[in-house]
């Protein structure tokens, strides 16, 4: 099997051929789906572990202290210890809660984030599905998460949870608009919704550079809206500890709480990776455009040495760091200020931005 770190299509195709040639097509399909499912589950769990540890360390260094440093060298096994603890905790059953919905809610949140990961390209040829409506699918599926949040708040039979869930629901639904519109701006530039085409189109420079002004505005709006989407950073009123206990997941304990917790970090990963794919080129290394001539071509060759997978992880990690930076620096916004920001400021700016981008594409004034 040809395995190239720079191009996974040959690898996936050879595995595919091997399976289909040795098994009846139905079973080959099932086996393939199982392998992909397991790989993603593993990836999901691993990324969750790493992100929780990263958050604690980043937060600690910003606060002038060390963070976890006892469990394992530099505390790297801390998250595993935490999850074992969460697994062993007693699952508290609420008396008058709606049992079915109460148990269903964390799963909906996890499933929504899981489905969204499937469409994102990690490296050339390494993604589960390659729709021609890629971005549309990702946005649609990640909005399913709000259903889980509302169910959690409602079924807990607790005023605090209900208030937290309502706030959270209003927030997520509002910021969906900004997320969608800012991604739309880039789709206008790229000309396609298929994620692999978008990444390929950034061969001569990332969209944030080639699309100059409207792309930068769209990027800033996207980062703000995405932070609000995931209930993080200055927009985490719904789960603010100092306000109404823990918001919609107050009544959850043990493994169910772990699901919400994990889903929050995975959502952060997903929005960061969408931003990295759409604005910063995904797995495409930093290339200089034809403007730079032969010096540009040499530069591109050097950049190509670094495997695309590393580029992708690097960009996503940088954006995740920025999101963590936001959270630990700014105070929280109040719910009405949050919604005012979206409806009165971000939305009009976004709409005007799309027009500008469309005009620029029509006139050919991009790089």
Partner 1 sequence: MADYTNVLEHDRLKEKLEEQEYIINMGPQHPSTHGVLRLVLSLKGEIVKSIQPHCGYIHRGIEKMCEKLTYQQIIHLTDRLDYLSAHMNNEAVCLCVEKALDVEVPERVKYIRTILDELNRLASHELWWCSFGMDLGALTVFFYGLRDREKILDIFEESTGGRLLQSYNCPGGLMNDVHPDFQKKVKEFISYFRKKLPEYDELLSGNVILMERTKGIGLLSLEDAISFGVTGPSGRASGFACDVRKHYPYSAYNKVDFREVIYTEGDTFHRYKARIDEMWESMKIIEQLIDNIPDGDYSAKMKPVIRLPEGEYYQRVESSRGEFGVYIISDGNKTPYRIKFRSPNFSNLSALNIIAKDFKIADLIAIGGSLDLVIPDIDR
By CB under 8 A, tell whether 96 contacts partner 1. no
Q: What is the CA radius of gyration of the chain?
A: 22
State in angstroms the smallest separation of the CB of 204 from partner 1: 38
Kindly list the distances between the CA atom of residue 321 and the CA atoms of 202, 283, 318, 325, 328, in Å, as whole numbers in the listed order: 23, 18, 5, 6, 11
User: What kind and span of H or E run contains 61?
Assistant: helix 25-62
Among 55, 176, 229, 236, binds partner 1 (CB under 8 A): 236
- State the binding string over 253-292 for partner 1 (x if CB under 8 A, else -): ----------------------------------------
State in angstroms the smallest separation of the CB of 241 from partner 1: 6
Scan residues 215-234 and list those touching partner 1 (CB under 8 A): 234
* Nearest Cα to Cα of residue 111 among 263, 265, 269, 232: 263
Kindly list the distances between the CA atom of residue 256 and the CA atoms of 56, 116, 249, in Å, as whole numbers in the listed order: 21, 21, 9
CA dihedral 100, 102, 103, 107 (to 10 degrees): 120
Residue 188 or 246 having the CB closest to partner 1? 246
CA distance 126 to 162: 41
Among 93, 100, 318, 330, binds partner 1 (CB under 8 A): 330
Among 64, 90, 295, 362, binds partner 1 (CB under 8 A): 64
CA distance 320 to 326: 10
For the chain, how many helices (H) and strands (E)?
15, 0
Go through 251-260 and write b for each residue having 16 or more CB atoms within 10 A of its CB, e for each that does not.
bbeeebbbbb
By CB under 8 A, tell whether 90 contacts partner 1. no
Residue 240 or 354 having the CB closest to partner 1? 240
Partners of residue 123 on adjacent β-strands: 126
Among 58, 243, 253, 299, binds partner 1 (CB under 8 A): 243
The residue whose two tokens read 């040495």 is 305
By CB under 8 A, tell whether 333 contacts partner 1. yes
By CB under 8 A, tell whether 329 contacts partner 1. yes
Residue 21 or 64 having the CB closest to partner 1? 64
Among 3, 65, 305, 364, binds partner 1 (CB under 8 A): 65
* Nearest Cα to Cα of residue 64 among 328, 323, 241: 328
The residue whose two tokens read 């079973």 is 27
By CB under 8 A, tell whether 332 contacts partner 1. yes
Among 17, 70, 159, 203, binds partner 1 (CB under 8 A): 159
Stretch near partner 1 under the rule CB under 8 A, chosen from 6-14, 187-195, 241-249, 313-321:
241-249
Residue 150 or 338 having the CB closest to partner 1? 338
CA distance 352 to 214: 9
Residue 136 or 160 having the CB closest to partner 1? 160
Asked if 114 and 276 touch (Cβ cutoff 8 Å), the reply is: no
By CB under 8 A, tell whether 95 contacts partner 1. no
Among 183, 199, 237, 276, binds partner 1 (CB under 8 A): 237
- Six-digit token string for 32: 């393939």
* Nearest Cα to Cα of residue 34 among 26, 140, 61, 231: 26
Among 90, 241, 291, 295, binds partner 1 (CB under 8 A): 241
Number of residues that bind partner 1 (CB under 8 A): 26
What residue ranges bind partner 1 (CB under 8 A)? 59, 62-65, 159-160, 163, 234, 236-237, 240-244, 328-337
């Amino acid at each position: 099997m040809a395995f190239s770190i720079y191009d996974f299509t040959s690898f996936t195709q050879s595995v595919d051929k091997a399976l289909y040639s040795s098994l009846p097509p139905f079973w080959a399909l099932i086996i393939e789906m199982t392998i992909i499912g397991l790989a993603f589950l593993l990836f999901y769990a691993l990324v969750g572990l790493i992100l929780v540890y990263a958050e604690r360390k980043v937060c600690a260094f910003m606060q002038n202290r060390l963070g976890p440093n006892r469990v394992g060298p530099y505390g790297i096994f801390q998250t595993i210890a935490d999850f074992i603890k969460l697994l062993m905790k007693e699952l508290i059953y609420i008396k008058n809660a709606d049992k079915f919905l109460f148990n269903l809610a964390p799963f909906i949140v996890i499933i929504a984030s899981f489905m969204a990961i499937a469409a994102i390209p990690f490296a050339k040829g390494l993604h589960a599905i390659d729709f021609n409506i890629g971005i549309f699918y990702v946005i649609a599926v990640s909005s399913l998460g709000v259903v889980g949040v509302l169910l959690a708040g409602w079924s807990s039979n607790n005023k605090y949870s209900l208030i937290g869930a309502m706030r959270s629901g209003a927030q997520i639904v509002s910021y969906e608009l900004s997320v969608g519109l800012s991604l739309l701006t880039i789709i206008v530039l790229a000309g396609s919704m298929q994620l692999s085409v978008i990444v390929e189109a950034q061969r001569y420079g990332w969209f944030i550079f080639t699309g100059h002004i409207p792309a930068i505005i769209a990027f800033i709006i996207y980062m703000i809206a995405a932070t609000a989407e995931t209930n993080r950073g200055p927009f985490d009123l719904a789960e603010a500890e100092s306000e109404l206990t823990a918001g919609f997941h107050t009544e959850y304990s043990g493994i169910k709480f772990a699901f919400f917790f994990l889903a929050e970090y995975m959502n952060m990963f997903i929005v960061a990776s969408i931003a990295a794919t759409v604005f910063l080129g995904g797995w495409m290394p930093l290339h200089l455009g034809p403007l730079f001539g032969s010096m540009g071509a040499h530069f591109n060759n050097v950049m190509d040495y670094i495997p695309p997978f590393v580029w992708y992880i690097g960009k996503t990690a940088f954006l995740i760091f920025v999101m963590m930076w936001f959270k630990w620096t700014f105070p929280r916004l109040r719910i009405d200020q949050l919604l005012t920001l979206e409806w009165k400021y971000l939305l009009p700016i976004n709409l005007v931005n799309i027009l500008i981008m469309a005009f620029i594409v029509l006139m050919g004034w991009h790089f």
